[in-house]
Chains A and B, each alone.
Chain A
Amino acid sequence: MNKKKGFFATLGAWFKRAFFGGSNTMAQEIEHDPTQDYEEIVTPIKQIVRSFFERRIAVIAICVVIAMFLLTFIGPLFMPKYYDSYTEVTQKNVPPTMSMLSVPAKLKNDIKMIDSFGSFTVGLSNAGDVYVWGATQLGTTGLDMKDIPQEIRDAKIEYVAAGIDHAVAIDENGKVYCWGYGKLGQFGYFDPGENPNILVEPDELLNGTIDVANIKKVTCGYQCSAILMNDGSFYLWGNKNVYQNIENFTSLEKIQDIDFALNFVVGITDGNSIYTGKRGLYDQYRANIGEKAIPAKQFLDGRKIVALSTTSSNVCGELDDGTLFFTGDFASNSVPMPALHEGERFVSICSGTYHYTGLTTEGRVLSWGGNILNQCELPKDLSGASRIYAGAFQSYAVNDNGELVGKWGLKGYLFGTDTYGANIFHRIIQGGKMTMTIGAVAVIISTIIGIIIGCLSGYFGGKVDLLLMRLTEIVSAIPFLPFALILSAIMAQSDISENKKIFILMVILGVLTWPGLARMVRGQVLAARENEYVTAAKAMGVKEGVIAFKHILPNIISIILVSLTLDFAGCMLTESSLSYLGFGVTYPRPTWGNMLNGANNLTIIKNFWWQWVFTSIFLAITCICINIVGDTLRDVMDPKSDRDK
């Protein structure tokens, strides 16, 4: 214990000497005496710190590095909902936008209806004009949902609905318009013989009109659309591949309600069950999310289902006595439906991709269900709502005059989303943490090995030196990238836990990078051991090992510091390269390297620029700044460099 304390005391003394200087008091005394004409005495370390902070670029660089550290290590604390393997199929490749909630100013006071399924939202004003906002560009197709066809602009629209990459509008005469991407059967005519997987849009919609006054519901799914009439007849068309059970609906004549979950079309035929055309699907009902599910017949107990709304994996049904029930799968972090007051009932329910929003008879607005993108964070001052609309991850409350009184949910993505639909900004922060940790640990390992080997071989010389230098030669003869690849590939095939793999990766990087530092330390020690203070220490009978590590090492610490900084950037780059090639840290755990893994084909490089630009910028800026700091340190520590100025 005592020995340990002694060690820390020595360490403290070093630091004190390093930053304040041993001759501090003396320097101050001289400074305070104006009569004397001495030069100010500055210790070398003080000089180094001073001239380091004189260089503006270096100061900026070190600020940026510190900011990156803070961002990546403190940032994750503010993202409690983040998890690595998050994917969202409807939010793939969304460009950077924060406009998903920005209802156009013209529409704001005149809302008739709002709908969305994917990344863009369509709105309809009472005047019959259609508005589109959000991330309106459709992937690689080059289409933009904002380019609303002229005939739709000219017509007075009564109904709109939005799918993942198409939208449907019906005008006052009952003419049905569609726009967006239509190559997969979303709309338009296809020859059924050539396209067996497409349920072709009905002829009366393509060339005729329907009775607008009679429309009950217009809804769109992934690449399918449905129009339900008051008399129970319905039109259903789109891409059959998306909905496995869509064929079952084509044979039905009458239906009470219809909606799209992610992979299934659900409907009500007789009010006793949710019809999907498949057995065992949606037949266990529960009164609220998180409660025990019981078989449908037992749950209903004679009551009838009158309406339903769906999220991607579950269904909310409305019974004839005004209560709600839920069926399907719920994520474990779903928010349960808030309790209603005595005698309160829901007036209307609408659903997004994971959440439900409901309006009650008391005028209260409630949101529940999936909350991972803040869909259920209601604004506090919400009142006067008389109608509600749900987008994919957004909700809107509108009053009697059609004015928007509240909107909440997903605003957008600062840096867009990746091919899995995850928020790139969040992944950059989490990935930076991983990248920096790996770089830091690897560089610490390599520095420790380098110092020990360099010191030993430099101080003792002779056989020790020969042996250790051979070892250094061998390690430096190993081609770095191929060897690291092999080791991490072998590691990947063995069945050890992810965390252990990452730790081994750090060790591999550390063990392969030390020779440079060891050589440098050896050279310095060789020069330093001829100094008088070493002779003095020897004469006093200090042990050899103590001389090497306690007397000589502090004198060469500046060199080590420089190499530490530069190697840190080097290790980060190596880790990124390995992960980029798929041999370091692997998906779903993000690092800056494997986040760029997807950007290895022209389609992504060209069309989804945000998926590589931001990550590259973060990686590049961090490395550049660390290198600048290292370079500047080297410059200011080198006494010769003063001459260069």
Chain B
Amino acid sequence: MLLVLLILSILMFLIYNLIPNNRAYTDARNDMNSMKSALKGKSEAEKEAFFQQRYEEYQRQYGTDTKNQVVRYLRWIGLYPNYYGRFSGLLQGNFGYSYELKDEVLNVIKEPMKNTIFINVFATILALGITIPLGIKLAVKKGTKLDQTVQVLTLLGYSLPAFVICIVFIWIFCSQLGWFPPSGMKTPGTNYTPWTWIWFKDRMKYMALPLITMTFCSLGGMTRYVRASMIDALSMDCIRTARAKGVKEKVVVYSHAWRNALIPIVTLVVGWFLGIFGGSLMFENIFGINGMGKLMIQSLRTADSDVIVLLQMFYVFVSLIGNLIIDLVYGLVDPRVRVSA
């Protein structure tokens, strides 16, 4: 786990360096521009010398005054002092500064993160609420007309790219039916105080379509998976025994089989929950939600490196946490793991 974290952080650092951006240079240039009047009348050589001095100063401040990549990496992490003997890396909470939005990266990321987590969690709950009962039902009624129809539909659901589903849904719900606004977070011009009923209503009106679309997109794969693991579980010998004993069908399905089907489902649910974070990027961009995905695209367009790296770190972090959760939950749903551990 630690090794993974380490290697990922090196990877992050590589990405950080790959983005064509020289902060010290930019800052020094900005200083030159802001001090234009003071520098007036000085010769080119003097100006150049001044620029070099500022540039060096900034490089020392940012820890980029050496060609040694290992030192730079350690400084970036915050394990090696910079020129002035201070530690100012990620571990000290220095995540950087957004040049486009002119603010600390942490402040920039706060609001989008809230929105992203909100829609993702909401969509997950919705999707699970639909897919698990549906999958179980299909597994029990395997081979019926209902099963076959839903199978075809879910195939559609997971073969279609998310953005095509988005376009179709926008066309149906916004253009043809006119139920929902096509994009945005709130009605323009309004400014309701948060956590009031009217604020909630307005927000839900705008969030409804993204949520519906996100849920729909995840239905296909999830339902198939739940169904498959339920079918596997239902064909186990213990189920036959339970039925032979005369246990009620409901108990067989929801207690005996479900418990056995849970393990692969948990893996999937967590994995998929992580995937949805990456996937919500698409939805946020299409529906104009002020989330992390949208911020990411924006920053990528403007090469706002600190924001990009922090966002990427967030995604990696979420995915690592997810892997940890999978391990923990295994123990919870599968007694054998607990015993052996």
Proximity bits, A464-508, B CB within 8 Å = 1, else 0: 000000100110011111110110011001100000000000000
Contacts of A219 on B, CB cut-off 8 Å? none
CB distance from B235 to the nearest CB of A (A): 8
Whether the pair B282, A609 counts as a contact (CB closer than 8 A) is no
* Interface size classification for chain B: 35 or more
Q: Is A644 an interface residue (CB 8 A)?
A: yes
Smallest Cβ distance from B229 to chain A, in angstroms?
A: 14
Contact in complex: A624, B159 (CB < 8 Å): yes
What chain A residues lie within 8 Å of B308 (beta carbons)? 486
Smallest Cβ-Cβ distance to A489: which chain B residue: B300
Contact A623 B281 (CB under 8 A): no
Contact A576:B281 (CB < 8 A) given known A583-B300, A606-B171: no
In the bound complex, CA of A453 to CA of B182 (Å): 45
A602-B182, A631-B155 in contact; A479/B161 too (CB < 8 A)?
A: no
Contact of B159 among A490, A577, A620 (CB under 8 A): A620
Bound CA–CA A580/B278 (angstroms) = 15
User: Closest Cβ of chain A: how far from B91's Cβ, in Å?
Assistant: 20
Main secondary structure of the interface of B (DSSP, over half): helix
Query: Which residues of B have CB within 8 Å of A596?
Result: 163-164, 167
Judge if A612 is at the interface, Cβ distance under 8 Å: yes
Inter-subunit contact A490/B8 (CB<8 Å)? no
Q: Are B158 and A479 in contact (CB under 8 A)?
A: no
A616's partner among B167, B286, B297 (CB-CB below 8 A) is: B167
B7 touching A627 by the CB < 8 A rule? no
**Across the two chains, which residue of chain A brings its CB closest to B319?**
A477
* Complex interface: chain B residues within 8 A of A609 (CB): 171
A600 CB–B CB distance under 8 Å? yes
The 8 Å CB contact of B161, one of A474, A482, A623, A631, is A623
With a cutoff of 8 Å between Cβ atoms, the chain A residues found around residue B318 in the complex are: 479
Q: How far is the CA of A606 from the CA of B167 in the complex (A)?
A: 10
Chain A residue with the shortest CB-CB distance to B166: A600
Give a binary string over B260-290; 1 marks a CB under 8 Å from any A CB, 0 the rest: 0000000000000011011101100110000
A486 touches B312 (CB 8 A): yes
Q: Which residue of B lies closest to A573 (CB)?
A: B161
In the bound complex, do residue B278 and residue A624 qualify as a contact, i.e. CB atoms below 8 Å apart?
A: no
Known: A481-B279, A482-B312, A602-B182. A577 touches B18 (CB 8 A): no
Q: Among the listed B167, B301, B320, which residue makes an inter-chain contact with A605, where contact means beta carbons less than 8 Å apart?
A: B167
Assuming the A-B contacts A482-B315, A605-B175, A616-B164, are A627 and B159 also in contact, with contact meaning beta carbons closer than 8 angstroms in the complex? yes
* A481 near B282: Cβ-Cβ < 8 Å: yes
Verify if B170 is at the interface (C-beta below 8 Å from A): yes
A residues 557-588 near B (Cβ < 8 Å) are 569, 573, 576-577, 580-581, 583
A493: chain B residues within 8 A (beta carbon) = 20, 303
Which chain A residues border B281 with CB–CB below 8 Å? 481-482, 485, 581
A192 to B: closest C-beta gap in Å: 35
Map CB proximity to A onto B226-265 as digits: 1 under 8 Å, 0 otherwise: 0000010001000000000000000000000000000000
| Chain A residues whose CB sits within 8 angstroms of the CB of B182 once the complex forms | 601-602, 605
Interface contact B3-A470, CB-CB below 8 Å = yes
Q: Closest residue to A599 on the B side, CB-wise?
A: B167
Residues of A within 8 A of B275 (CB): 480
* Interface residue? B138 (CB, 8 A): no
The answer to whether A479 touches B315 (Cβ under 8 A) is: yes
Residues of A close to B303: CB separation below 8 A: 489, 493
The A/B interface has a contact count, at CB < 8 Å, of 123
Query: Is B319 a contact partner of A600 (Cβ separation < 8 A)?
Result: no
Give the residues in chain A near B300, CB-CB below 8 Å. Answer: 485-486, 489, 583
Residues of B within 8 A of A605 (CB): 167, 170-171, 174-175, 182
Q: Which of B155, B163, B279, B319 contacts A478 (CB 8 A)?
A: B319
Give the nearest-CB partner of A628 in chain B.
B155
Bound: A616/B162 CA distance, A: 11
A485 to B167, CA, bound (A): 21
- What is the minimal beta-carbon distance from A416 to any residue of chain B, in angstroms? 16
Most buried by A among B282, B300, B320: B300
Interface string of B100-139 (1 = CB under 8 A from A): 0000000000000000000000000000000000000000
> In the complex the two chains form, what is the Cα distance from A489 to B304 in whole Å?
11
CB distance from B139 to the nearest CB of A (A): 11
Contacts of B175 in A (CB 8 A): 602, 605-606
Residue A451 lies at the interface, judged by CB distance under 8 Å to chain B = no
Q: Which residues of B contact A443 (CB under 8 A)?
A: none
A453–chain B nearest beta-carbon distance, Å: 16
Does residue A619 face the partner (Cβ distance < 8 Å to B)?
yes
Name A602's contact: one of B7, B164, B170, B282 (CB within 8 Å): B170
Within 8 A of A (CB), among B1-50: 3-4, 7-8, 11, 15, 18-20
Task: Report the minimal beta-carbon distance from A111 to chain B, rounded to whole angstroms.
Answer: 40
B231 interface neighbour in A583, A631, A644, Cβ under 8 Å: A644
Which residues of B sit under 8 angstroms from A643, Cβ to Cβ?
A: 235
B311 lies within 8 A of chain A by Cβ? yes
What is the minimal beta-carbon distance from B209 to any residue of chain A, in angstroms? 12
Contacts of A580 in B (CB 8 A): 161, 163, 282
- In the assembled complex, the CB of B140 is this many whole angstroms from the nearest CB of chain A, namely 14
CB distance from A622 to the nearest CB of B (A): 9
| Chain B residues, CB < 8 A from A619 | 161, 164
Nearest residue (CB) in A for B174 is A602
Contact, CB under 8 Å: A581 / B297 = yes
Residue of A at shortest CB range from B6? A474
- Min Cβ gap A323→B in Å is 55
Chain B nearest CB, measured from A294 CB (Å): 49
With a cutoff of 8 Å between Cβ atoms, the chain B residues found around residue A581 in the complex are 281-282, 285, 297
Bound form: Cα–Cα A480–B275 in Å: 8
Q: Which residues of B contact A490 (CB under 8 A)?
A: 15, 18-20
* Minimal Cβ-Cβ distance residue in B for A575: B161
B152-191 interface with A by 8 A CB criterion: 155-156, 158-164, 167-168, 170-171, 174-175, 182
Contact of B323 with A by CB under 8 A: yes
On chain A, the residues within 8 Å of B142 by CB distance are 644
CA distance A542 to B285 in the complex (A): 56
Residues of B within 8 A of A480 (CB): 275, 278
**Smallest distance from the beta carbon of A139 to chain B beta carbons, Å?**
16
Please name all residues of chain B whose beta carbon is closer than 8 Å to the beta carbon of A481 when the two chains form the complex: 278-279, 281-282
CB pair A577 B163 closer than 8 Å: yes
Q: How far is the CB of A487 from chain B (nearest CB, A)?
A: 8
Q: Mark B305-316, 1 if CB is under 8 A from A, else 0.
A: 000100110011
A322 and B297 alpha carbons, distance in the complex (Å) = 62
Neighbour of B7 across the interface among A474, A482, A599, A624, CB < 8 A: A474
Residues of B within 8 A of A569 (CB): 159
Known A474-B4, A477-B323, A493-B20: A600·B161 in contact at CB below 8 Å: no
Check B4–A473 contact: CB distance below 8 A. Answer: yes
Chain A's nearest CB lies how many Å from the CB of B60? 26
CA distance A473 to B142 in the complex (A): 35
Alpha-carbon gap, A481 to B280, bound state (A): 10
Give the CA-CA distance A394 to B231 in the complex, in Å.
63
B168 and A616 within 8 A (CB): yes
Most buried by B among A474, A482, A577, A626: A482
Q: A573-B161, A596-B163 are in contact. Are A479 and B171 (CB under 8 A)?
A: no
In the docked arrangement, what's the CA distance between A620 and B167, Å? Answer: 13
Q: Are B155 and A627 in contact (CB under 8 A)?
A: yes
Q: Cα distance A478–B315 when bound, in Å?
A: 8
| Interchain CA distance A577-B162 in the complex, whole Å | 8
Are B316 and A478 interface neighbours, CB within 8 A? Answer: yes
Closest 9 CB pairs of A and B: A479-B315, A606-B175, A489-B300, A624-B159, A481-B278, A479-B278, A623-B159, A616-B164, A627-B159
* Interface, chain B (partner A; CB < 8 A): 3-4, 7-8, 11, 15, 18-20, 142, 155-156, 158-164, 167-168, 170-171, 174-175, 182, 231, 235, 274-275, 277-279, 281-282, 285-286, 293, 296-297, 300-301, 303, 308, 311-312, 315-316, 318-320, 323
Task: Beyond the given A477-B319, A479-B277, A485-B297, please list 13 additional residue pairs across the A-B interface where CB-CB is below 8 A.
Answer: A473-B323, A479-B318, A480-B275, A482-B311, A485-B296, A569-B159, A580-B282, A581-B285, A596-B167, A601-B182, A602-B175, A606-B175, A623-B160
